Amino acid sequence: MLPEYFINRELGLLAFNRRVLAQAEDERCPLLERLKFLCIVSSNLDEFFEVRVADLKEQIERNVTAASPDGLTPHQTMARVAIEAHQMVERQYQLLNERVLPALAAEDIRFLRRTHWNASQQEWIRSYFFRELMPILTPIGLDPSHPFPRMLNKSLNFIVELEGKDAFGRNSGIAIVQAPRALPRVIRLPHDVAGCEYGLVFLSSILHAHVNELFSGMTVKGCYQFRVTRNSDLSVDDDDTTDLRLALQGELTHRQYGDEVRLEVADNCPPEMYNFLLGQFGLSTDDLYQVNGLVNLVRLFQVPDWVERPDLKFPRYTPAIPREISREPDIFKAMRRGDILLHHPFQSFNPVVEFIKQASEDPLVLAIKQTFYRTSADSTLMQSLIEAARRGKEVTVVVELMARFDEEANINWAAKLEDAGAHVVYGVVGHKTHAKMAMVVRREDDRLRRYVHLSTGNYHQRTARLYTDFGLLTCEEGICSDVNDLFAQLTGLGKASKLNHLWQSPFTLHQRLIKAIRNETEIAKSGNKAHIIAKMNALLDPDIIRALYEASIAGVKIDLIVRGVCALRPGLPGVSENIRVISIVGRFLEHTRIFYFYNNKAENLYLSSADWMYRNFFRRIEACFPVLDPKLKKRVFSEGLAPYLKDTANAWEMMPDGNYHRRAARRGLVFSAQTHLLVELGQEIKPEVTPVSE
């Protein structure tokens, strides 16, 4: 298939971040939330450079010349990325300085610049510097006995230009000051000193103002903040590793010092200074990002939490408890009455927490098995599993140690679980365990009954309030048997068994999806109605894309709701005229994976942990499960698909050239799927109902 039928992955990721940036630009969005979206862009770009750009640089270093499906070589992709990323960062800081910060100042939330500090502010800040900052600073003058120091990944540093000689007669002209990572990057001044409701000062401003105190008797000619981003992808040799946890612990210490991929400096940094830094890090000017403000906007995330201004934030909400559970506190009895569908964050994650908690306390429960990809550092779920193990239950936990940027947290939980007597395994070597599954085995009336939870999202209580996901609580025999077999694969040895309902990676998911797409294709060719709707985070797999193009040519109507990168081009004449691609970027991070096939009115509907990417199909353990209950199937469609297809508040539609245009409201009526679900699901639940546990 021609390269022009595909979109480059890296450029698609940058396009997604432009849509996130548009949220910061949208004046309909509450002001403090706009600041958060600016921070999210910075956080996303950090990971983009740490992983995607780092990978491109490695390919270039290895002289890889093979093109990706879109026809671009690593060199060509890198050149395009540099242009797009520089433009995005420039726009990001323009929005911050020209629109967001002035709007915050108008609301009496002021970032006080050091050139505008009054006498009382200068006095308070000077006292703060000597009390909190100076005792833990270590300035390093560069000379033969003090070589350029190792810079931690994404740490805040300052390069200082000096004149004169120190007490030992040294005059290198350059020193490095590393900002302590333990200190906040934004400091709030007392109300009476600030002269406004919220007076905030950057740590970098405080250090700039008093840097001369670190170099007694010398003249500071300039002080410039900088930050280096490094390759943060961990690599462990599966063939030579006998203890994955031990190997990873060793690798984690090196993550902070991976190969350099990006240098950020303040825009007032002169060429001789940033060229010196580029030389130290082995980077080119294409890797240099000069910014008008903080070199790490992620640190501004804390500001909205400080500011008690509900009128400048999204309205608060309380996730609802489904009636099936609010009416029956015994979770197992509620599940025996029928499958229970949970739609987060509109509905509470507490039933999942309660499921494991009750299992840990119930004397009839004999065993609990659960997978963990990402979870919080204070996870109640993990504590319940630890307690269950201490009570003598058979607890088996599949912890994915290679969950990017959560490796250390997962290693810590694995150790605590083992100390409590739980069986901890790390899945299958070479395949990340990404499936979200929990199974409880309970003795009931001389038989063992299994109860299962399956989900599209992680067992993470905090992100369950920020990400949209579906979860299913069921004791249906066929699904429970499948989940039992999946756990057997993960913890033991043997060939993959034939499953009743679930599609799984790396064995059947890819081929079953291709088969389902081709089935709709044949239905369309016979002249009958054919329709595919799929919602996911990313669509990159070339085989799936080819199958969708073939289905479109045959007349299948295809609606794709892809939050992030989508390599498929819709609307190409004679190829994808029947395909529509939209992306939703709003208050919550869209995270559900839903696959719908009309199938001659059967309307097959699946939920999954997997995106349509090669890695999810062939390098991960993933679960894709059907929604069997007709009422719940209707709910998934009416909550997870239909509202998003008509969204005009947060929807972006992809054009044939790969660019996205914001959807226009019809007849001036703006419809937000996320707001609609907050209202609808909230109305389903009586407001006086108390959650099972918080």
Catalytic residues: 434
Q: Which of 154, 160, 156, 127 is nearest to 141 (CA)?
A: 160
| CA torsion, ordered 410, 412, 418, 423, to nearest 10 deg | 0
What tokens appear for 651 in the block?
């929807």
Q: Is 492 buried (19+), middle (13-18) or exposed (0-12) by CB count in 10 A?
A: exposed
In 456-554, which ranges are E strands?
A: 467-474, 503-505, 531-536
Cα 666 from chain centre: 32
Cα 573 from chain centre: 35
What tokens appear for 623 in the block?
């679960």
Please give the C-alpha separations between residue 314 and each of 278, 306, 317, 640, in angstroms, as whole numbers. 41, 15, 9, 21
Distance between CA atoms of 203 and 465, rounded to whole angstroms?
31
**What residue type is assigned to position 646 of the chain?**
K
Give the containing element (helix H, strand E) for 110. strand 109-111
What is the sign of the dihedral through the CA atoms of 371, 374, 379 and 380?
A: negative
Q: Is 62 buried (19+), middle (13-18) or exposed (0-12) by CB count in 10 A?
A: exposed
Please give the C-alpha separations between residue 552 and each of 3, 531, 571, 612, in angstroms, as whole numbers. 18, 10, 10, 18
- The 8-class DSSP code of residue 623 comes to E
- 653 with 660: CB under 8 angstroms? yes
What tokens appear for 6 in the block?
């595909």
| CA torsion, ordered 186, 191, 194, 198, to nearest 10 deg | 50
Give the containing element (helix H, strand E) for 385. helix 380-390
Q: Which of 444, 464, 466, 269 is nearest to 363 (CA)?
A: 444
- 514 with 543: CB under 8 angstroms? yes
Distance between CA atoms of 347 and 394, rounded to whole angstroms?
30
- The 8-class DSSP code of residue 628 comes to -
Distance between CA atoms of 130 and 387, rounded to whole angstroms?
47
| CA torsion, ordered 69, 71, 76, 81, to nearest 10 deg | -50
- The 8-class DSSP code of residue 612 comes to B
Q: Which of 70, 74, 48, 72 is nearest to 60 (CA)?
A: 74
Give the containing element (helix H, strand E) for 366. strand 365-372
Query: Which residues face 607 on adjacent strands?
Result: 594, 625
- 530 with 516: CB under 8 angstroms? no
- List the Cα angle 56/59/62 in 5-degree steps: 150
Instruction: Show Cβ contacts of residue 186 under 8 Å, excluding neighbours closer than 6 positions.
Output: 111, 200, 201, 202, 203, 299, 300, 302, 303
52 C-beta neighbours (distance < 10 Å), count: 18
Q: Is the peptide bond before 304 cis (omega within 30 degrees of 0)?
A: no
Q: Is the peptide bond before 573 cis (omega within 30 degrees of 0)?
A: no
Query: Which residues face 453 on adjacent strands?
Result: 438, 473
Block residue for tokens 């507490």: 350
